[in-house]
Amino acid sequence: MSWGTTNTVKKDEPVKTGFGKDYYRGLFENNTAQSVPVRMALVAKENCAKTGLAVSIARQVRPKGKIIVVDVDNSAQATIEENYGDDKEITVLPLLDERDDSIYNDDSTINYANLIDKMNFYVNIIADKVNEGEDISAIVFDGGSTFLKWCEHAMTDVLLRRGVIKEEGDSFNQKEWRTRNQLFREVMTRLHGLSVPCVFFTFHLKDVSNYVDNGNGGKVLMKIGERPDWEKGTMRLFSQQIFLSRYMKKADAGAGVKSDPKLSEGDWVVKATLEEIKGKHMEFVGETYEILKVADGKVSWNGLPMLDWK
């Protein structure tokens, strides 16, 4: 079923794919796994160079070729202009675009279901361009956590389309939350499956809080940790997971900044911890590297030059 169409298959009617035994035998005999070495998640709080690191690694893998940045958070353009302004093969595609009438309702509110449809059409277009031979070296899906929230907002419209509810204010069964997860997983899975050497996904880190004893017999809500703000099971898509953190001399929990007493006052750094790597470069798992430093008002970039996949 294609996006924007209605499924008319009856409950007891067998699904007709139009592909038979001979078709799948041909795939079995001739289709081999393609080399897609990088399927990477970059996870961090704000201002930790997730987008910049993704493009940096992409250029280490393929110095040439088009890089498409799908800008969910509307924050990637500034990074690309400042750090990669001379690279004319980088295209930034904003999803939430004020010039796009298709994603707004008549009252100027956002139609999130149409926004999800738009992303799926973009994936189709990218897939077509790859099949037509266009040299696309990397996709950066910048804002996975925001996109998950969009899928949550789109649930009501999608359930209306499917006839699960009749009106916008109707309640629905708890199990219908699978609709959000399905919308999210379909986009993530299709991006992952593109015949492109590198696909990067950026996510935010989310604070985990719980009530703990305050020592006086009461309970207080305290932060007990952090976890990626993604749908459960998403991590299985990624061959590489890199977690980034910003450090200053004094910690600032509200801004997600950690403490490094060795830094001078006013200086700060971004460090990357390689949490998971499958295949090549797995010897670096668990290592932490300083990828960016700001000292005396000057920025120095180290990146992760050992991750080349050449």
27-76 pLDDT, tens digit each: 777 765 566 789 999 999 999 999 999 999 999 999 999 999 999 989 89
Question: Which three-class secondary structure state does DSSP give residue 228?
Answer: strand
For residues 198-214, average pLDDT = 86
For the stretch 219-268, pLDDT in tens is 877 776 788 888 888 888 999 999 999 999 999 987 889 999 999 999 99
- pLDDT for 92 equals 96
For residues 2-30, average pLDDT = 62
Sign of CA dihedral 84, 252, 203, 301: positive
Residue among 146, 113, 131, 116 at smallest CA distance from 193: 131
- Residue 124 reports pLDDT greater than 60: yes
pLDDT interval class at 11 (50, 70, 90): very low
pLDDT interval class at 21 (50, 70, 90): confident
| CA distances (Å), origin 130, targets 134, 136, 138, 212, 228 | 5, 7, 11, 53, 30
Whether 58 and 36 have beta carbons less than 8 Å apart is answered as: no
Backbone φ and ψ of 42, nearest 5°: -115, 120
pLDDT interval class at 14 (50, 70, 90): very low
Please give the residue that has the higher pLDDT: either 305 or 209. Answer: 305
Rounded distance between C-alpha atoms, residue 23 and residue 287, angstroms? 46
232 token code pair? 């459960």
For the stretch 72-121, pLDDT in tens is 989 899 999 999 999 999 999 999 999 999 999 899 999 999 999 999 99
291 token code pair? 């990828």
Rounded distance between C-alpha atoms, residue 92 and residue 76, angstroms? 7
- pLDDT for 161 equals 72
pLDDT interval class at 10 (50, 70, 90): very low
Q: What is the number of other CB atoms lying within 10 angstroms of the CB of residue 25? A: 10
Residue 303's region, left for phi above 0, alpha for psi from -120 to 50, else beta, is left
Residue among 305, 273, 270, 304 at smallest CA distance from 288: 273
Rounded distance between C-alpha atoms, residue 251 and residue 169, angstroms? 44
- pLDDT for 174 equals 65
| CA distances (Å), origin 131, targets 68, 127, 134 | 16, 6, 7
Residues facing residue 51 across a β-bridge: none
For the stretch 132-178, pLDDT in tens is 999 999 999 999 999 999 998 888 777 777 666 666 655 566 666 78
DSSP 253: G
113 token code pair? 């279901």
| CA distances (Å), origin 266, targets 33, 250, 293 | 49, 9, 11
Where do we find the tokens 């030059």? 305
Rounded distance between C-alpha atoms, residue 304 and residue 55, angstroms? 11
Instruction: Name the least confident of 31-35, 64-68, 125-129, 304-308.
Output: 31-35
- pLDDT for 3 equals 45
* 248: CB partners within 8 A, 6+ apart: 257, 258, 259, 260, 263, 267, 268
Q: What is the number of other CB atoms lying within 10 angstroms of the CB of residue 237? A: 17
Backbone φ and ψ of 229, nearest 5°: -90, 75
Rounded distance between C-alpha atoms, residue 26 and residue 23, angstroms? 5
Helices (H), the chain: 21-30, 50-61, 76-83, 112-131, 144-162, 178-192
Whether 140 and 200 have beta carbons less than 8 Å apart is answered as: yes
- Residue 127 reports pLDDT greater than 80: yes
Where do we find the tokens 């409950």? 11
